[in-house]
Amino acid sequence: MNFLLLKKRLYLSRLIPGVLIALLSCAPAPGAQSAPDNTAVREAVRRELREHPELVLDILKDNSEIVLEIAQQGNMLRKRKALLSQWEQDAKQPKVVKLDDRAFRGKADAPVTVVEYSDFTCPYCRQAEFVITGLLKKYDGRVRVTFKALPKDDPVSMTAAKFATAAFFLDPAGGWAFHDALFNGAEQYEREGEDFLRKTAEGLGYDFKKLKNEAGGQAVQQRLDFDSREADSLGISGTPHFLVNDLMVRGAVGRELFEEAVQKALQYAGKQ
């Protein structure tokens, strides 16, 4: 690489990140005294890169963190745009969900109900639990949460769902504590199985034999079957999946998007 080419490479490697930031934020590039002429700057960069295309990969490698950040921001913006469009349609299509016999967190008269379809052995569901906990705190009095187990068709996932459902049947308040313990100790549960369930249940004051009998009973199986059919009727095929009033939220979305769903639900309910 001759000296002139090296000089141009160094110049471009310093210029391009600032140009990208400036064009995205409409702010001056770092070190610039005033806002650049965007058209002129873009054309200058294009001209240099046309003359020396071999520099592109080097420059991208040198600024990989900036490139990744821009790509992530673009993906988030596309996802948000798609969700906003989807929620407009969701709000026009009321969802039929059974809630009258279900335990919930929050106030009974909260204008927004979050229905959570989840699986205790799903890592994305565990991640989403932190977001849900934050929502209850931030929107205290305006959001309530109901949990519906949607286990995978395997013994580990199904057993956790049955025991959690049984815990809610025997004691709704204790059921939430059992629910939290299962999510927080999911990896330990997968290693220890029934021993973990026994220790957890006894630590929360349950009679384990009674809880186990309830978990293996017909009522629990009927509840799980009903919630599975309900999920199918709503087009829900995976976990985690949420209804925020009538707005669908699929997967473990970030806190900002989930809060936006709550704000939209409050807006559609006339409670914002």
Mean pLDDT of the chain: 84
CB distance 269 to 112 below 8 Å: yes
Q: What is the C-alpha to C-alpha distance for residues 151 and 119, in angstroms, rounded to an integer?
A: 5
Per residue in 244-268, pLDDT (tens digit) is: 999 999 988 888 889 999 999 999 8
Q: Domain locations in the chain? A: 3-62, 88-268
Q: CA nearest 123: which of 157, 154, 153, 174?
A: 157
**One CATH from 3.40.190.10, 3.40.50.1970, 3.30.479.30, 3.40.30.10 for 88-268:** 3.40.30.10
Report the b/e string of 129-142 with b at 16+ CB within 10 A: bebbeebbeebeeb
Structure-model confidence comparison of residues 31 and 244, the more confident one: 244
What pLDDT does residue 83 have? 80
Q: What predicted TM-score, i.e. pTM, was given to this entire model? A: 0.72
SS3 category, 44: helix
Q: pLDDT of 145-173, one tens digit each?
A: 999 999 999 999 999 999 999 999 999 88
Name residues whose C-beta falls within 8 Å of residue 266's C-beta, 6 or more positions apart in sequence. 111, 112, 142, 272
Residue 270 has pLDDT above 90, yes or no: no
pLDDT tens profile 228-237: 999 999 999 8
Confidence of residue 37 (pLDDT cuts 50, 70, 90): low
* Sheet bearing 241-244, strands edge to edge: 143-149, 112-118, 241-244, 247-250
Predicted confidence band at 212 (pLDDT cuts at 50, 70, 90)?
very high
Main-chain phi, psi angles of 144, to 5 degrees: -125, 155
